[in-house]
Structure 1
Amino acid sequence: MENTSQQQWTTVIKPRTGWFDIDFKELWQYRDLVTMFVKRSFTTMYKQTILGPAWLLINPLITTVIFTVVFGGIAGLAEEGVPSFLFYMAGNAIWSFFSACITGTANTFVSNAGLFGKVYFPRLTMPISQVLISLVNLGIQMLMFFIFWVWFFFFGQEYGTVQMNLWVLAVPAVLLLVMILGLGVGIIVSSLTTKYRDLAIVVGFGVQLWMYATPVVYSMNELVSNSPRLAILIRLNPMTEPVLVFRYALLGCGQISPGWLIYSAVFSLVMLAAGVVLFSRVEKTFMDTV
């Protein structure tokens, strides 16, 4: 009789019990599935709508006009020396991207419970695909932004000056930072909503409040000059520096601090690590609670 201890098994199935059980190699092997999820989300998002993907341009355009009139014109909170319209369009673009990363991943487990219960695939592919679809939407919005940027550069000097600088090379890194932070916060929320459904309702309101704690609708320079202590608290917000760098790179307005940018990067990485750990723990048992 052959000794079973000497048999070479081709496949070994065993439970995962560690705190960090994310197989990144397997995740890379399923990159085609991520691409499929991105295409599916983009198609279903605007299916049976009259204007379709045009809403990607209409929504930020309307929001920018409202911000320009209310916060720039009436309240006078925009940055001086640059067109208020571009000031708010830039801030709204990067914040909408961050907001979409969170809200898109916040219901990962709950909204895809039926799919998760039928077939196996790395669960992390779903929130990653939501972040990537948000990046695609941002790219479309930025095309509209650059059209307005060119117009103001050549014909809108009376509204203020706009100029790019070498910091524009850091914009991809800033967007990656925002993606990491949004993914980290989003998967933390999605993991907690498996037991606490109230979080799915609160997340939209919480993101809206977070926006007002970020210099999206007001100038950081005005805040520093009028309330230095409050400005320090605003700097502790990990989204503050990415917004400031984004505007500074594209418009040449405001002031940025590499030190605070490093703080935002470290904070974002910590949030992502915490989210991945929590996600890997919840995905093992979430079908029992969803």
Structure 2
Amino acid sequence: MDNRNWDKVIGSDTKKFDLKLRDVWNYRDLLFLLVKRDFVAFYKQTILGPVWFLLQPIFTMAVYLFVFGNLAGIPSDGIPRPLFYLAGISAWTYFSECLLKTSTVFKDNADIFGKVYFPRLIMPLSIVMSNLVRFGVTFFLVVLLMAYYLVFTDITFHFNWYILAFPWLIVLMASQGLGLGMIISALTTKYRDLSLLVTFGVQLLMYATTIVYPLSSLKGTMRTIISLNPMTYVIEGIRKGLLGSGTFDVQGLLYSTIISFVLVLLGINIFNRVEKNFIDTI
């Protein structure tokens, strides 16, 4: 059958490492529609609405201040503890939300996937983009808190050129959450019990990241282990660029960049391969 007269040909053959990014671009209107839907629908029937974007990190910061600051007395690398925790919380929340929601994308959207065609990659990408909006609202708290310390206290922040890497650090967070999430989502189509371990695993991973302690407080083997986590350099980079204190350099940025893009390329490739027959196993 000659397919040259057709606008689009849907087939089962997929080239190796075919990321299908052209298909995603052709369906970009659907992507933006899904982002808008996720953002509006999530808080549509809540009393406080988008205010929850602000309350959740504030409550978490208060708990960290009491437990890790007052009780445990963990140092904050010379940064005021509220700012130290809030900067880490905002970054970690974005990463973890991208990972957790992407890891269940096949199960959560099985009905839609089985009825209509569109590039399945649209779904995890919409999760990353909608969470980016929430990250922006949350990070606004960090900016407000910085302004408070600058105006009402004698504390100053030593900005440096690392602040220019901030947009790139956001890309790295999204890439890591997206890549890991798609790999887990592909695995859970066959191994359902894996989804039960993801939430618990993300909570454990948080303590292997410099959310409640600075990397400078670690020594020896423990410092090496925590440094292997690519999210460590992302969070340290945010603190270094905005707050002037953190263990971050070009080598750490390069390491996190390589790991992030390996994860996202591997995740997209696995995701695209599983999507062809996941409906038979989900």
| Band the TM-score falls in, shorter-chain normalisation | over 0.9
TM-score (norm 1): 0.92
In the alignment, is residue 127 of structure 1 matched against residue 124 of structure 2?
A: yes
Shift of 1:24: 1.3
After TM superposition, the structure 1 = structure 2 runs for residues 110-189 of structure 1, keeping only pairs within 5 Å, are 110-157=107-154, 160-189=155-184
Q: Which whole-Å CA distance do the structure 1 matches of 2:120 and 2:153 have between them?
A: 48
Partner of 2:239: 247
Flag the structure with larger Rg.
1
Give yes or no for contact 2:77–2:246 (8 Å, CA) kept in 1: no
1:63 paired to 2:60: yes
Q: In the alignment, is the contact (CA less than 8 A) between 2:64 and 2:212 conserved in 1?
A: yes
Q: Which amino acid aligns with 2:114?
A: G
Pairwise CA RMSD? 1.7
Counterpart residue identity of residue 250, structure 2: P
Q: What runs of 5+ residues in structure 2 fail to find an aligned partner?
A: none
Of 234, 257, 264 in structure 2, the residue corresponding to residue 272 of structure 1 is 264
Whichever residue aligns with residue 246 of structure 1, its letter is I
1:149-191 CA deviation, whole Å, 9 max, x = no partner?
100112133xx54333221111000110111111000111111
Identity %: 43
Which residue in the other structure is 2:85 paired with?
A: 88
Aligned equivalent of 2:273: 281
Q: Is contact 1:238-1:267 (8 Å) kept?
A: yes
Report the AA paired with residue 131 of structure 1: V
Kept in 2, the 8 Å contact 1:79–1:254? The answer is: no
- CA shift, 1:14, in A, is 3.2
Cα distance in 1 for partners of 2:11, 2:251 equals: 45
Q: Aligned pairs, how many?
A: 281
Aligned to 2:254: 262
In the alignment, the residues of structure 1 paired with residue 167 and residue 22 of structure 2 have an alpha-carbon distance, to the nearest angstrom, of 24
* AA at the equivalent of 1:280: N
Q: Greater shift after overlay, 8-17 or 41-50?
A: 8-17
Partner of 1:40: 37
Residues 1:9 and 2:1 aligned together: no
**2:226 is aligned with 1:234:** yes
> SS at 1:274's partner residue?
helix
Kept in 2, the 8 Å contact 1:106–1:186? The answer is: yes
Unaligned runs of 5+ in 1: none
Contact 1:68 1:84 in 2 (8 A): yes
Structure 2 Cα separation of the partners of residues 199 and 253 of structure 1? 38
CA distance in 2, matches of 1:235, 1:131: 25
Corresponding position: 1:75 with 2:72:
yes
* TM-score scaled by length of structure 2: 0.95
Distance, in Å, in 1 between the alignment partners of 2:72 and 2:40 is 39
Q: Which amino acid aligns with 2:252?
A: W
SS at match of 1:239: helix
Render the CA deviation track for 1:19-43: whole Å, top value 9, x for unaligned: 3333211211111111111111111
Distance 1:89 1:152 in 2: 14
Q: 1:79 offset after TM fit, Å?
A: 1.7
| Distance apart, 1:261 and its partner CA | 1.6
CA distance in 2, matches of 1:13, 1:34: 20
Structure-1 separation of matches of 2:267 and 2:152: 47
